[in-house]
Amino acid sequence: MTDYVLVHGAWGGSWGYDRLAGELQAAGHRVVLAQLTGLGTRKGEFHPGITLTTHIDDVCNQIASAATQGGFDTFVLVGHSYGGMIVTGVATRLGARIKALVYLDAFLPQDGQSLWDLTGEWEHDHYIGSQKFTPGAVAPLPGVVHPLLSPQPLLTLLEAVKFTGEEAKVGRRIYVFANAWEPTPFRKFVARVSTEKGWEYHEAKAGHDVMGDQPEQTLAILLGCA
């Protein structure tokens, strides 16, 4: 049995992992679906002071809660899109307990980088433009449509990840790149994981919703971490 922690992306919720979580559980594994303050099932808790640290705390606290019920001494940690920022932050605290760290078409920050640093002028214009309507909140990007999406706290996009050395203790690092989505802000990470030692790299013929477009491949990659 392997324990999995699945972290969703900006504007979304844990519902994006419903099928994957069910299949992992059916295979005999335990799963924590991260619930992030102000998003998804917790969108009623939104306030403009929510930061990246808030979401890192959320995930660490949910792992700790799961551990009190048995298990989760070690786990596979998965982040999709903005979730890559969060799982990197979790690794700076719990790296020695992470059996494998999986980035599903996700942001891959280096020390001192924020999501703002990893995006460009088009995204920045949207982040700032959204403040005209709801200060502290960023509406989903144009063209990103789903009835369950909710505004993203602006500060989560501006706060940088700070490395501690603990992140170097992660057992395995895996990057999954969706090659059927353009323009993509994630292509820059392909060059990095292809040249840095210690990375396993996969490509998925998928749009950004890798787990929805390529569920069997995604499941196989995660089961390979067990």
pLDDT value at residue 50: 98
pLDDT value at residue 35: 98
Tell me whether residue 81 is one of the annotated catalytic residues. yes
Q: Annotated catalytic residue: which of 14, 81, 130, 150?
A: 81
pLDDT digits (tens, 9 = 90+) for 30-65: 999 999 999 999 999 999 999 999 999 999 999 999
Interatomic CA distance for residues 53 and 214, integer angstroms: 31
Reported confidence tier of residue 183, pLDDT bands at 50, 70, 90? confident
Q: Looking at the domain that runs over 3-223, which CATH code has it been given?
A: 3.40.50.1820
Interatomic CA distance for residues 125 and 133, integer angstroms: 14
| Per-domain boundaries in the chain | 3-223
Secondary structure percentages of the chain, helix, strand, coil, to 5:
40, 15, 40
Does the pLDDT value for residue 118 go beyond 90? yes
pLDDT digits (tens, 9 = 90+) for 198-215: 999 999 999 999 999 999
